[in-house]
Structure 1
């Protein structure tokens, strides 16, 4: 038999215990589904850029995190064993073809469960080997609940995100206003201060993320999609400045953090919007303490809490809830998905201040057992004041 077999904790694993934990988690969910549907095995085919593939296998020594190597993985429901066949094995043939042959050698037949979308050629190899295919979302459901190791990986990414946002806050806290624009001191003691632009602030965030041991992954933005001035236009006092970053830590897990800061705020409408948005996070946390809730229910609670501060139907308010893990946005995300104990989700709330100015805050929450308060992962202050994030 060619290829390699992952047998429990004897598998090659350069990702610590995290990949072992998550395969155990997937195996538990898949075993029940395979038994209920009288199927032989679960099979997934893709490249190692596919988070589902990465979830089900251990990385090889010195293997790049995001390679494009075709890989087929299976969970044999009879032997309760993981099989991995990769083009990197230099064994020839398509990994799905070899995996199908190996399952046949094990005496397996009947139905294979797969994700709803696998490559067409892979499906043909499996069907040509005599298997029937049926779809399941069991892997996505397994991934939605994080193991302790996965939760710590997301927290590590979130700590890097916090380092990036705090760096931006430190720059904003040290700005001066010249001709109605925010400026920062240059390295030369006698040099005139330079205009602070979104591009410069974004670069500073990314540098701090890297220094904290993570990768920006192209997910950092200043005033994203707001219609605000471009990257090279100076930021101004009194304007809300939205900072967003979603870095990836070395094992491939993402964080997600958004803060809105204002230099020399005048205490106007943005203060009222800020109080409403921050209170919505407290309300959602209390809601999730009482037990699991659907994405729809939590999103509705976030919006209702903001509107309870006197905002009507004509006031623009946006909420978004999505899981975070091996993708910056993953299940739970659909309205009916539940934020069960063990899920780690990003809560994002935005409300229009006026014109093109929005106030946005996003944090990552780890949901605990019923009656236990959810935990905000590495969350800096939600204040509008830059200096408050440095305390």
Structure 2
């Protein structure tokens, strides 16, 4: 199931890149990446990580298969935005996703309360991310019924999803995932996650509100989020040194650096110095694509070979992590070029993703082959 979600996310990203290189309008293009690619995968990742972080049993079938209706909603959304389906289907998709977010949030809360001992602080980040998602989705029916409210509510929805839901889920996962990938313990990770959740959540909500009511409201939020990301980057460099740029973790490191650059680009956009579409395109190439491909390089082998570590899992991880530096540099170059509205930069992102797809296909076809 989780491997299926990972493969489907990569397929959705390839479809979004093809749409970006074609004449498809921005809204359905970006929702291919967000609603169809990222959202179901993050739901599956939360269902995987929360039992680990709370030392509890695996997710129940109702939670394990919850990403499937989210995938259906994720397919409906770009089709409705492209005019292939009637607009009222957007109400249906938003309702499905909002209900799924509430169900998963209640499940996370229950697992946190029932945890043996103190749960790992990373689990709380998933609850905050799901809250952001729910409030972002709850705005969709409002602006569909009252079109005059569409511009400000759409901006709030966009920022609360990209920085609140995806951003918080990623920032809560990376301090846990990097030590695992590098096989080196980070003694400061739990403390950072415990201390930084409130600043990160406040920052994401402040930026979303600032996008709606005024630029200067977003500035403190961007500074808070930048502080959180900067703390992670500094801690990783102090603990791992140059190893953080190893082929296994280079895409994850670049995603964090890209997130920091995007916060600066977002301020430039708010001040009128950068258009909206380059900033959103940069988000996909700078942050989303290296984040997901880098995370899947570590997680798909775990999902494919669950239980204790095994030689087959290690072989698969090495194969998927191969070329990580190459992909990271391509994503970095694509993100920088897209900020300057270079449409050809999507080709760099497509090349990086194609490299990962070929490695993924080979690893899934014969996972034990070195």
TM-score by length of 1: 0.21
The structure with the larger Rg is 1
Whichever structure has more helix as a proportion of its residues is 2
The structure in which a higher percent of residues are strand is 1
TM-score, normalised via structure 2 length = 0.22
